[in-house]
Amino acid sequence: MVTIKKSIFIFLGSFALFLVLMLPFYFFGELYGASEFFSKFSFLDFILGPEWSLPEQRYGALQAIYGTLIVAGLALLITTPISITAAVAISEFIPEWFSERLGTLIDMIATIPSVVVGLWGILSLGPFLSNTLYKFLVENLSFLPIFQTTTLTAYNKLTAALILGYMITPFVVSVIKENLRLVPIEIKEAAYALGLTKWETVRIMLSYIKPGIFAALMLALGRAVAEAVAVSMVIGNTCSFSISLLDPACTLTTLIINNFVEATGTEAAALIGLGLVLFMISILLVLVSRLIYSKLLGGYMK
Amino acid sequence: MNLKKLRDMLYTGLAYLSLLLLTIPLVWIFFECIVEGGHYIISRPIEFFTDIGKPPGVEGGGIGHAIQGSLYMLGLALLIGVPIGIFSGIYMAERRNSPIAKAARFVSDILVEFPTILVGIVTYIFLASKVTGILATGPAAFAASFALALIITPIVARSVETVFLTISNDIREGAYALGLSSSKVIFRILLPAVKAGVVTAVLIGLAKMAGESAPIIVTNGISNFWFSKWTEPSPSIPVLIYIYGLSPFKEWQTQAWAASLFLMLLIMGVGFLARRFTKKLWVGV
């Protein structure tokens, strides 16, 4: 009897153990795949190598890392004000019957497959922006280095960042909404009792949940860094260190998605090396956000 | 005092503006899908779902091959991923304080946020790569299924765990007090009680992987022919949208919109089903 009782948990536990081992398995898989490359080149040279050029057999990741950080960072800058104000509007300003529906609508953004967002970016948003916003920027603001470009295309860092910002927003909105719900009613009541206006009250509530917002933004940044298909469709896929937001670029994920299947030998191993860099960035971001959350669980999220 | 009111109005206006900014692209995407794609589907209602794509310049063509390929791929992925997810989810709930359960909870929280393209790369390295893979087939459909299965496993596990944690302890105690063995308690008492919740967990996983394209491109490559063998590249709906969207041909771009409409309706349908089952769950327990 005892043996039967135990054996079922050994059976189930082996599956749970499999789940636990998946993460180290991914890490060693990446290391194993990239080992051929790193036996010839040092990791530091790879990360700091400025150029990715197939014909010259030069595999430097710096341009891709630069593109990734610029595009994902810009996406985060775009999403932060929009998602905070949208979450506040949904949970504080709008009557409940309507805010629920609006919440569902915004959740629907998250269910759009990334390839469909990319399709919209390449066929609709990109051409639209290059005829309106980008034209305006180049004509009127080109004294700023970030808006200087020799040939204006619809597919550049700014398009990619706008699309990424849009894709990560629903997630941030829903987390901030959940956090706002956890603010004790006493704080709100005290603020109103002091005669504060609606927005002054909201500001107090936001400062109360600041760590929660930060954790959500870190996870969102991780998603932006990891997104592959939509970005590769609209970023123009030309590696460069150009500071202009209206110039094309490449990122870690776009280099992988565009070249991985046809790549062989050293190139394939170098692409897996890019994956290793991506692995480290996203694990770092997730861990930072988890750390904040676990601290919060002792705080207001108890 | 007036200044305060003005500032309040300004901020409130900005909040409504950001809601508008969020809604416009959603409406725009649906509008394009329905106008461009819906028109194409209506003009070829049967051909679109049964035919293979035509070369550029030739009128017509459908996404039948991609639908078939996606069905095969998602089917195998469910067959592999769902049992692993359910079993480990049950373990995480029923042995919630054991070290393995705690570790599994921690790791699956990380894996849910893990870049799916990396899952594809690792699967390719170990299974399909001609140099390092066990089966050495090169890009292949079965590798895509394995990658998708690995992607949904932590999602299903976490959802199943949550569902099992909603079962009141009285039920467990009552079942054990009758002298039933653990396996009978789990599979005859607890699992049937939360059947609807487990179905929801599977549907959530299905909705998540149905829209994935990066892991498929990395493991399976790109194909625009009928599904032939598991060891050959197979077409799929997301990848079809990807190639048709990037192509310069108007006919293909229109079909990409049509395929997007179909895919989004499919994912929304799965999500709708999941919500229906969740409602049932709360009535059932």
Rounded Cα–Cα distance for residues B118 and B96 (Å): 29
Chosen from A3, A7, A15 to mutate, greatest number of chain B CBs within 10 A:
A15
> What pLDDT is attached to residue A197?
85
pLDDT > 50? residue A1: no
Q: Looking at residue A131, which CATH number applies to its domain?
A: 1.10.3720.10
Nearest to A245, CA basis, from A67, A45, A2: A67
Residue type, B70: S
Query: A111 contacts in B (CB within 8 Å)?
Result: 207, 211, 264, 267-268, 271
What is the average pLDDT across A53-71? 89
Answering whether pTM is above 0.95, one says no
> What pLDDT is attached to residue B134?
84
Query: A32 contacts in B (CB within 8 Å)?
Result: 125, 132
What is the average pLDDT across B84-95? 95
CB atoms within 10 A of CB A77: 11
Nearest to B22 among A13, A106, A113 (CB): A106
> What pLDDT is attached to residue A301?
62
Nearest to A256 among B83, B117, B246 (CB): B117
> What pLDDT is attached to residue B1?
61
The ipTM estimated for the assembled molecules is 0.92
Question: Binning pLDDT at 50, 70 and 90, where does residue B152 land?
Answer: very high
Full residue range of the structural domain in which residue A86 is found:
68-254
pLDDT > 70? residue A298: no
**How would you class B77 by CB atoms within 10 Å of its CB: exposed for 0-12, middle for 13-18, buried for 19 or more?**
buried
Rounded Cα–Cα distance for residues B101 and A104 (Å): 33
Q: Does domain B64-283 correspond to CATH entry 2.30.110.10?
A: no
Query: B155 contacts in A (CB within 8 Å)?
Result: none
Question: Binning pLDDT at 50, 70 and 90, where does residue A5 land?
Answer: low
Min Cα–Cα distance to chain B from A283, Å: 8
Min Cα–Cα distance to chain A from B235, Å: 15
pLDDT per position as a tens digit, B107-133: 999 999 999 999 999 999 999 888 788
A168 in any annotated domain = yes
| Residues forming beta bridges with residue A53, ordered by sequence position | A58
> What pLDDT is attached to residue A52?
85
A141 in any annotated domain = yes
A189 in any annotated domain = yes
Closest CA in chain B for residue A113: B211
Inter-chain Cβ pairs, chain A and chain B, closer than 8 A: 260
Helix (H, G, I), strand (E, B) or coil at A227: coil
Rounded Cα–Cα distance for residues A294 and A284 (Å): 15
Cα–Cα distance list, B262 to A112, A113, B238, B241, B259 (Å)? 12, 12, 11, 11, 5
Number of residues that make up chain A: 302
Nearest to B231, CA basis, from B148, B121, B142, B122: B142
Nearest to B122 among A26, A88, A253 (CB): A26
pLDDT per position as a tens digit, B176-228: 999 888 888 999 999 998 988 999 999 999 999 999 999 999 999 888 889 88
Query: A26 contacts in B (CB within 8 Å)?
Result: 114, 118-119, 122
* Cβ pair B235, B66 in contact under 8 A: yes
Nearest to B32 among A7, A113, A124 (CB): A124
Chosen from A4, A8, A17, A19 to mutate, greatest number of chain B CBs within 10 A:
A19
pLDDT > 50? residue B28: yes
Rounded Cα–Cα distance for residues A2 and B179 (Å): 12
Residue-wise DSSP of B76-107: HHHHHHHHHHHHHHHHHHHTTTSHHHHHHHHH
pLDDT per position as a tens digit, A167-181: 999 999 999 998 998
Rounded Cα–Cα distance for residues B160 and A156 (Å): 42
Closest CA in chain B for residue A272: B121
Count how many Cα atoms sit within 13 Å of the Cα of residue A181 in the half-sphere of its side chain. 8
Min Cα–Cα distance to chain A from B27, Å: 10
Number of domains comprising chain A: 1
pLDDT > 60? residue A4: no
Query: A197 contacts in B (CB within 8 Å)?
Result: 4-5, 7-8
C-beta atoms of B12 and A93 within 8 A: yes
Least confident of A41-45, A127-131, B92-96: A41-45
Helix (H, G, I), strand (E, B) or coil at B63: coil
pLDDT > 60? residue A208: yes
Residue type, A301: M
> What pLDDT is attached to residue A199?
86
Closest CA in chain A for residue B151: A22
Which bin fits A265, alpha (ψ -120 to 50), beta or left (φ > 0)?
left
Rounded Cα–Cα distance for residues B42 and A110 (Å): 27
What is the average pLDDT across B23-52? 91
Rounded Cα–Cα distance for residues A171 and A109 (Å): 9
Nearest to A111 among B19, B212, B267 (CB): B267
> What pLDDT is attached to residue B285?
43
Nearest to A119 among B94, B108, B245 (CB): B245
What is the average pLDDT across A182-189? 89
Mean pLDDT, all residues of chain B: 90
Nearest to B213 among A197, A229, A279 (CB): A229
Chosen from B5, B22, B116, B185 to mutate, greatest number of chain A CBs within 10 A:
B22
Least confident of A156-160, A282-286, B52-56, B168-172: B52-56
C-beta atoms of A257 and B110 within 8 A: no
Nearest to A228 among B83, B117, B153 (CB): B117
Number of residues that make up chain B: 285
C-beta atoms of A19 and B22 within 8 A: no
> What pLDDT is attached to residue B70?
95
Min Cα–Cα distance to chain B from A222, Å: 8
pLDDT > 50? residue B284: no
pLDDT per position as a tens digit, B223-257: 888 988 898 999 999 999 999 999 999 889 999 99
* Cβ pair A78, A221 in contact under 8 A: no
Residue type, A165: G
Closest CA in chain A for residue B116: A226
Rounded Cα–Cα distance for residues A275 and B193 (Å): 43
Token digits for B18? 């950001």
What is the average pLDDT across B245-274? 93
| Residues forming beta bridges with residue A236, ordered by sequence position | A249
* Cβ pair A148, A142 in contact under 8 A: yes
pLDDT > 70? residue A55: yes
Nearest to A187, CA basis, from A61, A92, A51, A295: A92
pLDDT > 60? residue B166: yes
